[in-house]
Amino acid sequence: MTTSVLTKKAVSAMENAVRKVVLDHRRRKRALAIWKNGKVVMVSPEAATATVRERAPKYGKR
């Protein structure tokens, strides 16, 4: 199954938005709220950056 162009654009926009929020929180030295294991937890911007990188979705053929 191929991912549609519109889906790729939507995912890219979401990733860019998350990246901007993490950078803003890092600049302000403020914790971020994320969803982890069914709960909301507060993490440092550095930890959030690592989490975002770990969970990058893989699109393409199944």
* Full pLDDT tens readout for the chain, 62 residues: 567 999 999 999 998 898 888 889 889 999 999 888 999 999 988 777 666 655 555 555 44
Contact 18, 12 (CB under 8 A): no
Which of 25, 3, 23, 15 has its CA nearest to residue 53?
15
pLDDT of res. 10? 93
pLDDT of res. 31? 93
pLDDT of res. 35? 85
pLDDT of res. 57? 54
